[in-house]
Amino acid sequence: QVQLAESGGGSVQAGGSLKLSCVPSEYASMGWFRQAPGKPREAIAAITKGSSTTYYADSVKGRFTISQDNTENTLYLRMDILKPEDTAMYYCAGDTRLSTTFAISSSYRAPSEADFAYWGQGTQVIVSS
């Protein structure tokens, strides 16, 4: 389902930064996924309501920051020190299920595409060397 909207993608040089936005950030669990050509969609960051718990994929940990502004009902993904391998279509996702909040908060497994029922249409990020 397309019930979310991402913005902020673009083209940058390696080492640069971008900040993505997603609205509305109204679900118990929110996340960012990305999909490069020929590769499966992967979770890169996720957050539970109230920012109580966050998840980051190893590939982006220390470089990307997920956050949400409750007043503006907006989810953000700050991306720093971008690399060419970060080039992908970036998707915002949300879910209401408790199982998804558990996936984000626990260390037993990473959140997966199946954990999120609501999706945006994507915003493209291109990082050149």
Position 1 scores a pLDDT of 57
Give just the sign of the alpha carbon dihedral 49, 82, 128, 39: negative
Position 51 scores a pLDDT of 65
pLDDT in tens, 23-36: 999 999 999 999 99
Name the percent of the chain in helix, strand, coil, to the closest 5. 15, 45, 40
Pairing of strands 5-7, 18-23: antiparallel
Closest Cα to residue 127, out of 95, 94, 93, 84? Answer: 84
Q: Is the pLDDT of residue 7 over 80?
A: yes
pLDDT in tens, 51-104: 679 999 999 999 999 999 989 999 999 999 999 999 999 999 999 999 999 899
Closest Cα to residue 21, out of 73, 71, 76? Answer: 76
